[in-house]
Amino acid sequence: MSELLLREIEEQPAVARRVLASTEPEAARRAVASRSVVYLAARGSSDNAATYAKYLFETRGRIAALAAPSLFTLYRAAPDLSSAAVIGVSQSGASPDVAAVVRAARRASAPTVAITNDRRSPLARAAEHVVALDAGAERSLAATKTFTATCVALARIAGAPVEEAPDIFAAALQTRAAAEHLARRLRDPLAVIGRGYTYPIALEVALKVKELAGIWAEPHSAADFAHGPIALARRGACVLMLAARGPTIRSLRALARELGERGARVLALTDDESLAASCYAAVLVPTAAEHVVALSLVVPGQFLARALAIARKRNVDRPTGLTKVTRTR
């Protein structure tokens, strides 16, 4: 079996260090700081990274919005972006709709930033400022190192401290055996729950489980889960909870207890020992700043998805039905 995916998961600390060493995110930060509104355009894993950035910007007093790129390409009804800073995010830089948002913003004289792993891509050419991830070729189809690199770059642009990210990622790599153990206790279908900074990571982990393992994994905000989907949490249901110590942890502990009382099998990726102790099984990661811990939870999530795929005898580097570059319009 090829180990491209595993190698790329293991490269994440080194890739994060390169993003931290780059001067490009700082130049982008200064450009974006000239506007009070940040408009983020992305698809797929990049959209999950953009959702993470929304929390980073808004907890620091900025307004951040996620673009609907089809407004620019299909509806021809682009909003006025002249008062916003616009960030386009795409590991390949090849998605036409994301580039269309950035081009429209640049025509409106808005500051524009492209975050991509290909500085020669259409997205990079469309933007005034480019943050090249320098992650190296990502040859497995599922995004791993480009996702975390994108999140680190966005954190720098938002002014969030992420200097400890490489070391925390390195520590998270030690969770492989625990994540593989957790995978053996997971049931299909699966609800993946987070809140605050862990919500976008729940989106990404659910996507990885779907892409790699072919399991229907449904992501939810813990707050939204209580508004209806909790009715599905009965005996036989399986829930994967992502939790980091911070303002959301008490509500996540309470939800984990309630789900367990309803008969659901609750698994967790967390730095919180109390929550872990209340779950059927859990993977513990080191504690750090909440937004850094949340991001590090994607690493055991990647290991989990990989283990599920291997158990199902799926090709982890070339999952059926996927292409590396998706071009949406």
Domain extents for the chain? 4-162, 167-311
- Among 123-137, 239-253, 264-278, 313-327, the minimum mean pLDDT is found in 313-327
Confidence of residue 36 (pLDDT cuts 50, 70, 90): very high
Q: Say whether pLDDT at 324 is over 60.
A: no
Query: What value does the mean pLDDT of the chain take?
Result: 95
| Structure confidence at residue 329 (pLDDT) | 59
pLDDT in tens, 264-284: 999 999 999 999 999 999 999
**Per residue in 89-122, is it b (16+ CB within 10 Å) or e — as a string?**
bbbbbbbebbbbbbbbbbebebbbbbbbbbbebb
| Structure confidence at residue 245 (pLDDT) | 98
What average pLDDT does the segment 58-63 reach?
96
Q: Say whether pLDDT at 177 is over 50.
A: yes
Q: Say whether pLDDT at 196 is over 60.
A: yes
pLDDT in tens, 108-129: 999 999 999 999 999 999 999 9
Q: Which fold has domain 4-162?
A: Rossmann fold (3.40.50)
Between 271 and 78, name the one with better pLDDT: 271
Same topology, domains 4-162 and 167-311? Answer is: yes
What average pLDDT does the segment 206-232 reach?
93
- Report yes or no: 263 and 284 within 8 Å, Cβ to Cβ: no
- Among 38-42, 211-215, 315-319, 323-327, the minimum mean pLDDT is found in 323-327
| Structure confidence at residue 233 (pLDDT) | 82
- Among 102-106, 116-120, 137-141, 266-270, the minimum mean pLDDT is found in 137-141
- Among 89-98, 108-117, 235-244, 313-322, the minimum mean pLDDT is found in 313-322
Confidence of residue 234 (pLDDT cuts 50, 70, 90): confident
| Structure confidence at residue 2 (pLDDT) | 55
| Structure confidence at residue 1 (pLDDT) | 47
Q: Tell me what percent of the residues of the chain surpass a pLDDT of 70.
A: 97
CATH of 167-311 among 3.40.50.620, 3.40.190.10, 3.40.50.2300, 3.40.50.10490: 3.40.50.10490
Q: Say whether pLDDT at 323 is over 80.
A: no
